[in-house]
A = this chain, B = another copy of it.
Amino acid sequence: MRATVIHGERDVRVEEVPDPVLLAGGSGRDAVVRVVAACVCGSDLWPYRGVQKTREPKRIGHEFIGVVEQVGDAVRDVAVGDAVIAPFYVCDGTCTNCVNGVSTSCLHGGWWGSQDREGGFADAGQGERVRVPLADGTLVVVPGVDLESTEGRALVPHLLTLSDVMGTGHHAAVSGGVGPGSTVAVVGDGAVGLCAVAAARRLGATRIVAMSRHPERQALARTLGATDVVPERGDEGVARLKEMFDGVGPDVVLECVGTKESMDQALRSARPGGQVGFVGVPAGGPELPVQTMFSTNVGVRGGVAPVRGYIEELLPEVLDGRLQPGVVFDLELPLDEVAEAYKAMDERRATKVLLRP
C-alpha cells in the first residue's frame, strides 16, 4: 500500500510499504482500518521543519478516520464495515489511567507509526491502511454512517477533527474549567485554537475572545463562537484583555500554541484566581513561573488531550450538525500530494490540510 514516510527536514514522500495484517499469535485485539481521510497536524511540522531530528525514515501521521476491513478474534465492539474514528494514540480503555479519563497515559497504549506492545507495528495515519492495536479501546464507531455516501462525505471533515484538534481544543476548555458564564480568551488561532473557541461556546462561556491577527481566522473564530477578537499581543494584548474584563482579565485563558510567548501571554492575561488550560505542545519550555502563579492564584492545567473519551461526548453533536469543527480545514489534497500539504501548512498558506488516500 501507499503511506507517507518522512526522510528528514522538508522531505516527506508517499512510498510503497507493506500492507498491514492482523498479528498472528497476538492477543487478537487488533484490527485493520482502510483510511478514508487523514490530515497533517501542527506537531507534524516539527520533524518537517527539522526542529525534531529524523534519524531514519519514519512513517508519519496520527489523525485518521476510516472503515474497518479486518478484526482479530478478540475484538468485540468494532466490526468489519464499521466507520471509525481513531484518536491520535492507542489505548486499551480499561487500565487505571483510562478509567480515570486519562487514556493518553494508558498503561498498555502507544503511538501511531511505532511498534506496539505485542510486537506488531501500528501504522501511521497518513497512508492507505492502518493496523490498529487494541481496537476496542482505541477506535470509536460512527453508527449508521457510510463515509463514502454523499451525506457521509460531508461529515468527513467534522468527524476527522475528533481524531485530534477538536478533542484537543475541548481539553483546553475542560482543563481551564470553562463553564456556564465563564469569560474566556484563546491564545492561538490555529486549528486547535479555533476548536477551543467552539469548545468554550459549547460549555457555556458567555464571552470568548479570539486572539488573532489573521482576517480569515478571525472570521472563522466568530463563526465558531468568538464574541470578540483581539489582535494585540504581549503587553498590549494583556492590557487589552484587562480593560475588557473589569480591569482584571478573563476567568480562563486557553493556551493553544506551546511557545514561551504564548504561555507567558496566557499566564499574564488570566484574572487573579483564574486558570490557564494549556494544550500547546511545549516547544522546549519555558518552565512555569511558580512565584507568579503563587501570588496571583492562577492555576495551570492541561496537556496531551485524552481525546478518546471526548470523541464519544462530542460525536452526537457532530452527527446532528450542532458542532461543525471541520471548517478548520481549508485545503483538501489527495494523499499523493502530501508533500504539498506539508509545504502549504509550513508556509502558512493553509490552516489544516485534509488528505484523501
A residues touching B (Cβ–Cβ < 8 Å)? 96-97, 100-102, 104-105, 107, 175, 246-248, 263, 271-273, 275, 278, 281-282, 285-291, 293-304, 306
Can you list 17 pairs linking A and B with CB atoms under 8 Å apart? A96-B247, A100-B248, A102-B271, A102-B297, A104-B297, A175-B297, A278-B294, A282-B290, A282-B294, A285-B290, A285-B291, A286-B290, A287-B287, A288-B288, A288-B300, A294-B302, A297-B303
On whether the beta carbons of A299 and B296 are closer than 8 Å, the reply is no
Which residue of chain B lies nearest to A305 when distances are taken between CB atoms in the complex? Answer: B297
Q: Is the CB of A96 within 8 A of B291?
A: no
CA A272 to CA B304, docked complex, whole Å = 11
- Given A248-B97, A303-B295: A263 and B286 within 8 A (CB)? no
Q: How far is the CA of A272 from the CA of B107 in the complex (A)?
A: 11
Collect the chain B residues with CB atoms within 8 Å of residue A287's CB: 286-290
Q: Tell whether A299 pairs with B97 under 8 Å between CB atoms, given A272-B105, A288-B290.
A: no
| Residues on the B chain within 8 Å of A295, using CB | 303-304
Complex-state Cα separation, A138 to B105, whole angstroms:
45
**A258, closest chain B residue (CB):** B294
- Report the minimal beta-carbon distance from A305 to chain B, rounded to whole angstroms: 8
Among B100, B247, B299, the residue within 8 A (CB) of A302 is B299
Contacts of A293 in B (CB 8 A): 288, 300, 302-303
Which chain B residues lie closer than 8 Å to A301 at the CB level? 275, 297, 299-301
Contacts of A263 in B (CB 8 A): 290
Question: In the complex, A306 Cα to B107 Cα: how many Å?
Answer: 38
A102 lies within 8 A of B273 (CB): yes
Contact across chains for B300 and A291 when beta carbons are under 8 A apart: no
Q: Of B107, B278, B294, which one neighbours A304 at CB under 8 angstroms?
A: B294
Nearest-neighbour CB distance to chain B for A238, whole angstroms, equals 16
**Residue on B with the closest CB to A101?**
B273
A297 contacts B306, CB within 8 Å?
A: yes
Q: Bound state CA distance, A97 and B22, in angstroms?
A: 59
A278: chain B residues at CB < 8 Å are: 290, 294
Bound-complex Cα distance A244 to B129 (A): 42
Kindly provide the distance from the CB of A123 to the nearest chain B CB, expressed in whole angstroms.
Answer: 23
Q: How many angstroms between the C-alpha atoms of A247 and B107 in the bound complex?
A: 10
Closest chain B residue to A245, Cβ basis: B96
Question: B residues within 8 A CB of A302?
Answer: 293-294, 297, 299
A293 to B105, CA, bound (A): 12
Determine whether the beta carbon of A281 is less than 8 Å from that of B303. no
Decide yes or no: A105 and B247 within 8 Å by CB, A291-B285, A294-B304, A297-B304 being known contacts.
no
A32 to B357, CA, bound (A): 78
